């Protein structure tokens, strides 16, 4: 039995992938699936702003792939949006200001549908939440989990499209987020009556530290596969 720490990588099947967009760009991706059990759902992760250092290996997304297949029977698909470089490699194309990236999301969704990996949940972080909000409401997904949504490129005109969609919308708001703090988030997400806004005490936009990581991963599991909540501290 081992204690789970920030560097822990638990057993899973890891598959390097290339996603092809409708405008014929090749995107670097990786799928992590449970080593033994059948996956209950798949998380499609959308990384922070690439021009600000975000990529598929940003720490929360990497730790989700390292832990959740083993601990929660969840598959995790990560990919670099167009023009994004990470330790996994560089995706073709150039940054599209959150507009051209719609095609990147569509390519990832098409791949997951072709694999039949179960219900799809979007997990966006910062810039990734903008893509989830703008382009997720009319796709075949179970819901979206938003980490530190800035609501910069997306706004009320996008949020209202989720009303009555039947898809869950869950926003995790750090107490000390410099872009959108809990009080403002409650006000802005109020346009979607079914949205769940969770304020996280002590957290910051980048979810630095193992306590913040554990809180995020636990909230994901609580929403997506409740019988596995809360996550254990050892494996």
The CATH number of whichever domain residue 188 belongs to comes to 3.40.50.1820
pLDDT digits (tens, 9 = 90+) for 26-70: 999 999 999 989 999 999 999 999 999 999 999 999 999 999 999
What does the alpha-carbon distance between residue 193 and residue 164 come to, in Å, rounded to a whole number?
Answer: 9
- Per the listing, tokens 């499209």 go with 161
What does the alpha-carbon distance between residue 56 and residue 114 come to, in Å, rounded to a whole number?
Answer: 21
In a domain, 1, yes or no: no
**What is the pLDDT, as a whole number, of residue 31?**
98
In a domain, 5, yes or no: no
In a domain, 142, yes or no: yes
Q: With bands split at pLDDT 50, 70 and 90, how would you rate the model's confidence at 97?
A: very high
Quote the domain boundaries for residue 180: 13-228
In a domain, 128, yes or no: yes
Overall average pLDDT of the 202-229 stretch: 98
pLDDT digits (tens, 9 = 90+) for 135-173: 999 999 999 999 999 999 999 999 999 999 999 999 999
Is the bond preceding 149 in cis, omega lying within 30 degrees of 0?
Answer: no
Q: How far is CA 108 from CA 111, 171, 208, 214, 235, in A?
A: 5, 22, 27, 26, 30
Query: How many domains does the chain fold into?
Result: 1
**What is the pLDDT, as a whole number, of residue 7?**
96
In a domain, 46, yes or no: yes
In a domain, 37, yes or no: yes
What spatial distance separates the first Cα and last Cα of the chain, rounded to whole Å?
Answer: 5
Kindly provide the residue ranges of all beta strands, DSSP E only, lying in the chain, ordered along the sequence.
13-20, 26-33, 41-46, 74-79, 85-86, 89-90, 120-125, 143-147, 168-174, 196-200
**What is the pLDDT, as a whole number, of residue 82?**
99
Which has the closest alpha carbon to 211: 74, 57, 49, 60?
60
Q: Give the mean pLDDT of the chain.
A: 98
Q: Which residues contact 84 (CB under 8 A, 6 or more apart)?
A: 47, 50, 54, 55, 56, 90, 91, 95
In a domain, 4, yes or no: no
In a domain, 8, yes or no: no
**What is the pLDDT, as a whole number, of residue 116?**
93
């Amino acid at each position: 039995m081992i204690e789970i720490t920030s560097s822990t990588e638990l057993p899973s099947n890891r598959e390097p992938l290339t996603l092809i967009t409708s405008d014929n760009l090749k995107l670097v991706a990786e799928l992590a699936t449970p080593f033994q059990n059948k996956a209950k759902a798949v998380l499609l992760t959308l990384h922070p702003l690439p021009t600000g250092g975000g990529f598929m290996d940003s720490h929360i997304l990497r730790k989700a792939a390292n832990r959740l297949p083993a601990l929660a029977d969840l598959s995790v698909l990560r990919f670099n949006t167009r023009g994004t470089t990470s330790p996994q490699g560089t995706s073709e194309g150039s940054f599209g200001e959150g507009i051209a990236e719609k095609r990147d999301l569509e390519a990832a969704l098409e791949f997951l549908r072709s694999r039949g990996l179960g219900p799809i949940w979007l997990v966006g972080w910062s810039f990734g939440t903008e893509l989830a909000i703008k382009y997720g409401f009319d796709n075949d997904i179970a819901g979206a989990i938003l980490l530190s949504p800035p609501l910069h490129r997306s706004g009320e005109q996008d949020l209202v499209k989720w009303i009555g969609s039947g898809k869950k919308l869950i926003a995790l708001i750090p107490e000390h987020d410099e872009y959108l703090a809990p009080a403002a988030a409650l006000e802005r997400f109020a346009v979607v009556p079914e949205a769940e806004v969770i304020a996280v005490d002590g957290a910051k936009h980048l979810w630095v530290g193992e306590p913040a990581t554990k809180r995020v991963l636990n909230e994901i599991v609580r929403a997506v596969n409740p019988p596995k909540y809360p996550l254990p501290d050892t494996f």
